[in-house]
Amino acid sequence: MDAHIKVAVIHHHRLFRESLGIALNQDPDISLCCQISSLDEIPRQWDAPCPDIVLVEMSERSRDFWGRVNNLRSKCPDCQIIMIDVPECDETVLACIEVAGAMGYLTRDASLDEVVYAIRSVMSGEAICPPRVTGLLISRVSELSRQVDVGQFQPPSGLTRREQTIVKAVEEGLSNKEIAIQLGIEVSTVKNHIHNILDKLQVHDRQSAVRYLKEHGMSTPVH
């Protein structure tokens, strides 16, 4: 290739990002331009021209992870995002594509070769989308098509399926503990989801979130 692919790595583990950086710099076509531990560091460390590719660690620790990814997009609109360390969860994978607009994703057991392949492919304009994810996307398009046919299509709320399910549970009067038991997840995970929901909808409490969705005609799933 004529020019280096400028790559940035965002990952909370210093050893991981530095090791990945060393490995990527060995490739003659790739130039590591930035290593940071968090999306929050972008405003004060993004001094050089924006990278071509940003490898972003998928994080459920951040209260407003998806909002911060969108902030990255606003600061660097021409970069392409590849999500890394993505858990093999259908809802999370779809959120990477639908909410973050990622051109690709890599699961937690991805190899260095797969990282390099993803970088090259995305730089060439190809989306990294394994067959299973292609099936998920086709199902999602089919679902939206059916909603349009019956007049049920609602404006997107920016919430993932899991977050919509939790809002539905809140609407039904379930406590955090009851939601956790129903979904088979930790109470702390429920709390994190609710924080994300409030941030995305710009409301201050659970019932306001339910009311917001109703007022804007956004239905929540029943299962």
pLDDT in tens, 90-111: 667 667 766 667 788 888 888 8
Structure-token pair, residue 182: 């129903």
What gap in Å lies between CA 167 and CA 60, rounded to an integer?
18
| Radius of gyration, alpha carbons of the chain | 19
Least Cα distance to 92 among 80, 107, 77, 78 occurs for 107
Structure confidence at residue 133 (pLDDT): 59
Least Cα distance to 105 among 134, 139, 76, 67 occurs for 134
Least Cα distance to 79 among 42, 44, 115 occurs for 42
Structure-token pair, residue 150: 């019956």
pLDDT in tens, 171-215: 888 888 888 888 888 888 888 888 888 887 777 788 888 887 776
What gap in Å lies between CA 221 and CA 172, rounded to an integer?
12
Phi, psi of 222 (to 5 degrees): -95, -5
pLDDT cut 90: percent of the chain above it: 13
- pLDDT level of residue 20 (50, 70, 90 thresholds): very high
What gap in Å lies between CA 103 and CA 171, rounded to an integer?
34
Taking CA atoms, 65 is separated from 39, 59, 69, 125, 139, in Å, by: 8, 7, 6, 25, 25
Q: Is pLDDT larger for residue 87 or for residue 72?
A: 72
Structure confidence at residue 87 (pLDDT): 74
- pLDDT level of residue 39 (50, 70, 90 thresholds): confident
Q: What domains, with CATH codes, occur in the chain?
A: 5-130 (3.40.50.2300), 154-223 (1.10.10.10)
Question: What are the beta bridge partners of residue 128?
Answer: 104
Asked if residue 10 has pLDDT above 80, the reply is yes
Using the 8-state DSSP alphabet, how is residue 61 labeled?
A: S
- pLDDT level of residue 23 (50, 70, 90 thresholds): very high
- pLDDT level of residue 60 (50, 70, 90 thresholds): low
